[in-house]
Structure 1
Amino acid sequence: MNHLFRLGIFLLASIPAAWAQNHSLSGTLRDGGSAEPLIGVTVFVPELGRGAISDAKGMYRIDGLPSRNLTIQFSYVGYATALKKINAADQSRLDVDLEAATASVEEVVVSAAYIMSRESSPISIEKINKQSLLRNPYPSLMTALAKTPGVSEVSLGPGISKPVIRGLSFSRVLSVYQGARFENQQWGADHGLGLTETGLSGIEIIKGPASIIYGSGAMAGVVHLIEAPDAPAGEVTGDVQVRAYSNSLGRRVESGVKGASEKGFFWSLRGASESHADYRDGSGTSIGNTRFQTQGFKAGVGLRKNWGDTRIRYTYLQQKLGILDENNQQSLVTTRNDRELQLPFQDVTDHFLNSETSVFLGEDKLKATFGYHWNFREETEDDFARVDLGLRQRNFMYDIKYYKSLSPRIEAIVGIQGFLLHTVNYEDAAEILIPDAVKDDRSLYALLNYSDPHWVFQGGLRYDYRKVTADASAPNFLAYGFELPGSPDNRKLSRSFDGITGSAGATFRPSEYWRFRWNLASGFRAPDLAELYSNGPHPGTARFEQGSADFVREQNIQSDVGVRYQATHFSISTEVFYNRVNNYIYFAPSDERRGDLTVWRFAQDNAGLYGGEVMLDIHPAALPGLSATTSYSRVIGKRRSDQTYLPYIPAFRWNQDLGFTFRNTGGFRQPYLNATGSLVLEQSRPAPLEESTPGYFILGLHAGSSFDLWQQQLDVSLAANNILDTYFLDHMSLYRPFGVAQTGRNISLNLQFSF
């Protein structure tokens, strides 16, 4: 019955509606100074995921627009991004003059449920575009994101890392992929983000509780991976990317093609393969078994008509990830270019099927997102022929929301959201860490948004219910001797969690120079399976892990205040926050041992985290190609019971970026040169049983340009990270307690050929 219901939901997502809305928007794009037409300007409609490119006369045209207010984004390298909000039913022509600039604060964000400028959002959202990822690539997508103020990473080598937002991490940060929550068993400290940059246009990071929009697991924030836009109507485009890394002798190949017909059918195909040997630290020492490989493929089809649009996507990703054995480090060091799997390692496979449908009903809109996710996680420790920890996870998720236009300035959203997740241990797995389990998550939410030229107000309420049922009655649990807390006779336990969360915020822009932002939001997180029920050795680590079925839900309330001033030649912004977390769950070692393993236990206490970020951006008009950015971020986390520090809190960090974009010369377009620096201060506030970590400075140098090859565009970038080959320990590395340093000098070459 459940399978029939899910199939019906997917079929329902493809049924067209009868509301015919077929409006067009066209215009001319010019340089604001010279009035010359601009060729190749990207015109993008975020609500529709599509747009157009201006032609040789600076003209553009977009067809099939609905009768509602839409945000149109005009972006071009070397010019300030322009945002216009119009209704194509009332206005069919829009000419725009773009002003030359090296930096722009006006960027559209979609992660706060409403489409708006990042500067207008009361929620703090950082945006990292694909160009930034390509110019400064890292083997791990999360490492690239960790350069963002207020964002860090917890890592287990370059192949395994997960986000930290303002000091909170693990199951408190939610990943959103193709509009749906992405669950790949983030409860494990050694389980990474599990996603790559393949086929993305950028990433948005919500800093602060986002439970009101995304539910449990978003109490720290959200990492939202944004898909690349669809192909323009009547066109077929593609690209090939090749990348090489010197430190790990890594190589990555990615290629994709997409197209769209004049009648509304569109499609896309994309694949990527990546391989890395062991990395070297700043002393030139190889760190054994940090090698990893990933292969991915994604495909999508869709239809856009007068009534709206619908699309179905499929993603496949396999990761084979080596894990350093802290008790046997040197024996894992092999030849320099060795990529063969060693013990221990993880083999993680994901299949993700997703559908998104939007139906426009006059000024209103109905959007339905459904997803089905299969995750297979195998951890092998002692024998290639035997899986030590084997877990299968399947997750059906849904999010249906109705956008109601109450007036030209007020819009409401009401929706239902949830998922049904099954976790099952392999019957032949040698070890058992967590029981089989079912999570049933359901929620109802409502949000209200008011906007005018100076003010934006947002607020909302949400109710969530979650039931977690653990089952250790299968024969493999009996044979292993796994016990649930309290040893119930039927070997099953159920826990339920529910509650109400809310948020309220405002943005005030009295002039083009000032922006003030305030937000107050509550979030929550139900304990994950490992925190509730883990009771066994964790393969690939030296831990015996124990949870507690008595844990209650984490509940937090965070207040953010932000101010930004932008003048002609510079902008400065600051944000401060205080986050009060009740029933904070943390993980710490004990003095007890089980055989050769140290017992690590989850514990619960109240906590408080506070800090902020400051950023200065300079772009002098006298030197139009020069830009300089500096940012400082800090966070302090303490247990409120005894004022001791929380574990795994990032050190204070000061980032710098000095860039030059030169004039087009010869066949080279937009050549650039960037110097970056990251000063990480000593982490002198360790938690009990932690140690302080010394500070360090990382220097980087990046250069690149675009030019034509065979009448097509070739983008070339060269990035040197940790150019001084600094030997350093990262406080957020899970290898840090064993004295294992991070990656030394790494030079990466990236080539992208577009056709």
Structure 2
Amino acid sequence: MRTLLNALLFLAISSLYAQNTIHGEVLDASNNDKLTFVNIYLPDLEQGTSTDENGIFSLENLPSGSYNVLFSMIGYETQSIKIVIPISTAIKIELVPSAIEMESIIISTPFHKLQRDNVMKVEQKSIKSLKSKGAVTLADGITNIAGVESVTTGMSIGKPVIRGLSSNRVLVYTQGVRLENQQFGSEHGLGVNHAGIESVEVIKGPASLLYGSDALGGVLYLNPERFAENGKSSGDFSGNYFSNTQGFNTNAGYKTSENNWKFLFRGSLAEHSDYNTEDYRVTNTRFREQDFKAGVGYQISKFKTEFRYNVNHSKLGIPEELGEQSTNRTPLLPYQDITNHVLSSKSTLFFDNSRLDINLGYIYNDRKEFEEEHHHDEDDEHDEHEEDEHDDHEDEEHHDEDHDDDILAAALHMKLKTANYDIKYNLPQLGKFETIVGVQGMHQTNANYGEEQLIPDATTNDFGILGTSHIHFEKADVQIGARFDTRTIDVLDGLNKSFNSFNGAFGVKTDIAKNLTVRLNLASGFRAPNLSELTSEGSHEGSNRYEIGNENLKSEQNFQTDLSLEFQNEHLELFANGFYNKINNYIFLSPDGSVINDDPVYNYLQDDAKLYGGEFGFHLHPHPIDWLHFESSFEMVTGKNDDDDDSYLPLIPANTLTNMVRVEFNKSWFNDGYAFVKLLTAFDQNNVSTFETNTGGYSLLSAGFGGVVSVFSNDLQITISGNNLTNKTYINHLSRLKADGIFNMGRNINLGFTYKL
């Protein structure tokens, strides 16, 4: 592999200084006016510019090859064209006025197309739009995406749920690499802060073709903020205040690009006290989060590379029962102290009409959980790991000043270290075929240092090989692909397991009538059992049960059918997405009626399961009042075991209906203005598993407005939003505090600003 990479690097360097230029103009299709400040972006090259006052643009120092060029501007339909560089003629683009929101390139799928050109259905939302709705955390914000929910423990801990599947059945990607942070645990959240993230993409359904094991339920793909355009610099700082938790989050960033080099830095801090309901504050839902991101990039004609680093440190209270009523922000016992490091490298070598993408990642998750009954004399004293003692030092600020650090020790202390790679070669386009082949893999070690042990010390290795093609026909686009994966798990105490799987996918997109598009996708996926499911033997304090693993578990294997219908014209958008997901060897916990150490005993078992449902909705912006928007969506999912009783699966979100009225406006002193009123209705969830209780329905009213004003010749964005404005007392079916009858958050007013320098 090293010899191959060296040879490819040599070929690239031999033609580094071959420079190409593209230029052209952008006009309004309705009146032929020249358009100023149109965004022009080449996603494959990550280079862009904008038109000048005469509608003219120019981009230099481009490698030869075939590339998509994206033209976008507010108030116009986004346009994507394919060009072959070098090109000697000027490009002339006419943009069509439209009230439809600007589209962006989908990054999580391999061919990097606009969603309307994509065969797979992918939901994409900007972090800006999620924050404008008053989201407290990233895990809270993603619940505004159709088909996505979150299993929560208070406000600080949230796990993404895609169409009823979560934990190790949903993969999270950040900075282009797979995020590993002990996601098997019911109280193990994302560990990623929204600062420095530009947008979120969601692949619903099996994505094993693209990502391998654990993408059985879907993928949450977090796109980092872009570097500055060449020759430009920018900075910003922002702050948000949340009335319910009397909390705040702040962040500041700076980025610059000059002479082929790019740099960016961003830091953020968030602190919240216990969240409030109409009747009480929920004890120990308080938390503190610090986050720092940095990046450096270098780009020349035939080669580009970037390195990014993110460190996130969180101290999260774990609520158990109602107690102290205060607005203190220092977590009580028990609490988690987590430091997550993500280092990623993303490089591309450009050849004539082809390219090689190399993504490398290293994730270091240092997780501690503190409880009252544990003492310092046994902390971090496992002889087997003396070589890692230099990693064990933690700064005093990581420990609560209200606790006696001399007598506290981590009851649970796990270090998860993951190195992964993703190498893809984009072959030269052959007629109607765009084809990508690649290899992906992961090497992961887990080590224990605390007094308790949830999962044993172990090493996991993944390797996968894949191929996929996008075929352009006159009236349809087809995508096909196949993949083989192998995973080995070696436990220190002697258990050795190996899992293999072959998966494939087929999709087609076509227009069956004017403005009516249909997408049909068929895909298989798999998930190898995790360490907890294979090897658990002991009390799980967070779940109050004694769990027993099963080393004979087989891989979960699923097959999903997705059908999507979309109608879109200048003033109306309709969509209907339906799915049926059949899972063989579905792994679940079941009690056997016995008790150990006062905890009920649960065993890991397997049975076949099925999930089905979909999302349906419309978006109306009537002529001639295009500034007025009516939006409505309905989401539903049902999950069942394929047993004799046809019983329901646990943690399936309730059906929900969302209705929103939104207005957009621009004034001479107030730009990009908006206001909205939203009513979310969750229906009764009576389709529950044997060990769950029914959950009543509820309706939540939200509203907000915002816009941009000029302050000292710079843009100041202001947002004000309110959630649960009627202060409704309710319990979400996916709240882990539901068993104790503890309500979700009450009324919350969010005040926010972002000032750009």
Normalising by structure 2, report the TM-score. Answer: 0.92
Separation in 2, partners of 1:600, 1:278: 31
What amino acid sits opposite 1:754 in the alignment?
A: K
1:654 is aligned, of 642, 646, 657, to 657
Which residue of structure 2 aligns with residue 727 of structure 1? 729
Cα drift, residue 87 of structure 1:
2.4
Which residue of structure 1 aligns with residue 378 of structure 2? none
Cα drift, residue 676 of structure 1:
1.2
1:615 match: secondary structure: strand
Instruction: Give deviations 1:405-427, integer Å, cap 9, x for gaps.
Output: 2325311111111000000001x
Separation in 2, partners of 1:33, 1:705: 28
Cα drift, residue 12 of structure 1:
9.9
Separation in 2, partners of 1:368, 1:509: 35
Which residue of structure 1 aligns with residue 370 of structure 2? 380
Which residue of structure 2 aligns with residue 565 of structure 1? 567
Q: Residues 17 and 11 (structure 1 numbering): CA distance in 2 closer, same or farther, change over 3 Å? A: closer
Instruction: Give deviations 1:485-515, integer Å, cap 9, x for gaps.
Output: xxxxxx3111100020111111113565021
What amino acid sits opposite 2:559 in the alignment?
A: I
Aligned-pair identity (%): 32
Separation in 1, partners of 2:637, 2:180: 27
Separation in 2, partners of 1:584, 1:24: 54
Cα drift, residue 621 of structure 1:
1.9
State yes or no: 1:306 paired with 2:324: no
State yes or no: 1:296 paired with 2:267: no
State yes or no: 1:370 paired with 2:355: no
The answer (yes or no) to whether the contact 2:244–2:275 under 8 Å persists in 1 is: yes
Which residue of structure 2 aligns with residue 441 of structure 1? 462
Q: Residues 380 and 92 (structure 1 numbering): CA distance in 2 closer, same or farther, change over 3 Å? A: farther
Q: Which runs of 5+ in 2 are unaligned?
A: 375-402
Which residue of structure 2 aligns with residue 320 of structure 1? 315
Which residue of structure 1 aligns with residue 220 of structure 2? 223
What amino acid sits opposite 1:127 in the alignment?
A: Q
Separation in 2, partners of 1:68, 1:448: 18
Separation in 1, partners of 2:687, 2:471: 42
Moved more, 218-227 or 41-50: 41-50
The answer (yes or no) to whether the contact 2:253–2:265 under 8 Å persists in 1 is: yes
State yes or no: 1:450 paired with 2:442: no
2:306 match: secondary structure: strand
What amino acid sits opposite 2:274 in the alignment?
A: D
What amino acid sits opposite 1:289 in the alignment?
A: N
Instruction: Give deviations 1:261-291, integer Å, cap 9, x for gaps.
Output: 1x3111111111111111012x241001001
The answer (yes or no) to whether the contact 1:434–1:536 under 8 Å persists in 2 is: no
1:531 match: secondary structure: helix
Separation in 1, partners of 2:611, 2:146: 16
What amino acid sits opposite 2:427 in the alignment?
A: K
Counting only pairs closer than 5 Å after superposition, residues 468-617 of structure 1 correspond to structure 2 as 468-471=489-492, 491-509=493-511, 513-589=515-591, 591-617=593-619
State yes or no: 1:406 paired with 2:429: yes
Separation in 1, partners of 2:8, 2:272: 43
Which residue of structure 2 aligns with residue 175 of structure 1? 172
What amino acid sits opposite 2:637 in the alignment?
A: V
The answer (yes or no) to whether the contact 2:131–2:141 under 8 Å persists in 1 is: no
What amino acid sits opposite 1:211 in the alignment?
A: S
Which residue of structure 2 aligns with residue 148 of structure 1? 145
What amino acid sits opposite 1:380 in the alignment?
A: F
The answer (yes or no) to whether the contact 2:99–2:570 under 8 Å persists in 1 is: no
Counting only pairs closer than 5 Å after superposition, residues 672-751 of structure 1 correspond to structure 2 as 672-751=674-753
Q: Residues 242 and 627 (structure 1 numbering): CA distance in 2 closer, same or farther, change over 3 Å? A: same
Cα drift, residue 729 of structure 1:
0.7
The answer (yes or no) to whether the contact 2:164–2:639 under 8 Å persists in 1 is: yes
Q: Residues 14 and 46 (structure 1 numbering): CA distance in 2 closer, same or farther, change over 3 Å? A: farther
Q: Residues 9 and 312 (structure 1 numbering): CA distance in 2 closer, same or farther, change over 3 Å? A: farther
2:427 match: secondary structure: strand
Cα drift, residue 67 of structure 1:
2.1
What amino acid sits opposite 1:303 in the alignment?
A: Y
Q: Residues 202 and 10 (structure 1 numbering): CA distance in 2 closer, same or farther, change over 3 Å? A: farther
2:676 match: secondary structure: strand
The answer (yes or no) to whether the contact 1:13–1:368 under 8 Å persists in 2 is: no
Q: Residues 161 and 15 (structure 1 numbering): CA distance in 2 closer, same or farther, change over 3 Å? A: farther
Cα drift, residue 630 of structure 1:
0.8
State yes or no: 1:330 paired with 2:317: no
1:139 match: secondary structure: coil
Q: Residues 35 and 122 (structure 1 numbering): CA distance in 2 closer, same or farther, change over 3 Å? A: same
Which residue of structure 2 aligns with residue 480 of structure 1? none
Instruction: Give deviations 1:683-705, integer Å, cap 9, x for gaps.
Output: 01010011110011111101011
Q: Residues 90 and 452 (structure 1 numbering): CA distance in 2 closer, same or farther, change over 3 Å? A: farther
Separation in 1, partners of 2:98, 2:740: 47
Separation in 1, partners of 2:661, 2:84: 40
Which residue of structure 2 aligns with residue 340 of structure 1? 330
2:349 is aligned, of 359, 373, 389, to 359
The answer (yes or no) to whether the contact 2:635–2:655 under 8 Å persists in 1 is: yes
What amino acid sits opposite 1:493 in the alignment?
A: L
Counting only pairs closer than 5 Å after superposition, residues 69-80 of structure 1 correspond to structure 2 as 69-80=66-77
State yes or no: 1:253 paired with 2:250: yes
1:212 match: secondary structure: helix
Which residue of structure 1 aligns with residue 382 of structure 2? none
Which residue of structure 1 aligns with residue 79 of structure 2? 82
Cα drift, residue 15 of structure 1:
10
Instruction: Give deviations 1:602-624, integer Å, cap 9, x for gaps.
Output: 22110011111112111112112
Counting only pairs closer than 5 Å after superposition, residues 93-172 of structure 1 correspond to structure 2 as 93-104=90-101, 106-172=103-169
1:212 is aligned, of 209, 214, 225, to 209
Separation in 1, partners of 2:464, 2:473: 30
Separation in 2, partners of 1:408, 1:109: 23
Cα drift, residue 376 of structure 1:
0.3
Separation in 2, partners of 1:672, 1:11: 53
Cα drift, residue 542 of structure 1:
2.1
What amino acid sits opposite 1:371 in the alignment?
A: G
Cα drift, residue 738 of structure 1:
1.2
The answer (yes or no) to whether the contact 1:124–1:208 under 8 Å persists in 2 is: no
Alpha-carbon RMSD = 2.2
Separation in 2, partners of 1:259, 1:105: 25
Instruction: Give deviations 1:369-393, integer Å, cap 9, x for gaps.
Output: 1111111010112156111111001
1:694 match: secondary structure: coil
Separation in 1, partners of 2:306, 2:459: 29
Q: Residues 447 and 100 (structure 1 numbering): CA distance in 2 closer, same or farther, change over 3 Å? A: same
What amino acid sits opposite 1:269 in the alignment?
A: F
Separation in 2, partners of 1:15, 1:601: 56
Normalising by structure 1, report the TM-score. Answer: 0.92
Separation in 1, partners of 2:480, 2:96: 34
Separation in 2, partners of 1:597, 1:492: 28
Which residue of structure 2 aligns with residue 486 of structure 1? none
Moved more, 404-413 or 186-195: 404-413
Separation in 1, partners of 2:263, 2:574: 42
Cα drift, residue 545 of structure 1:
2.3
Separation in 2, partners of 1:403, 1:9: 15
Instruction: Give deviations 1:420-455, integer Å, cap 9, x for gaps.
Output: 0000001xx121121101001111111111124632
1:737 match: secondary structure: helix
Q: Which runs of 5+ in 1 are unaligned?
A: 472-490
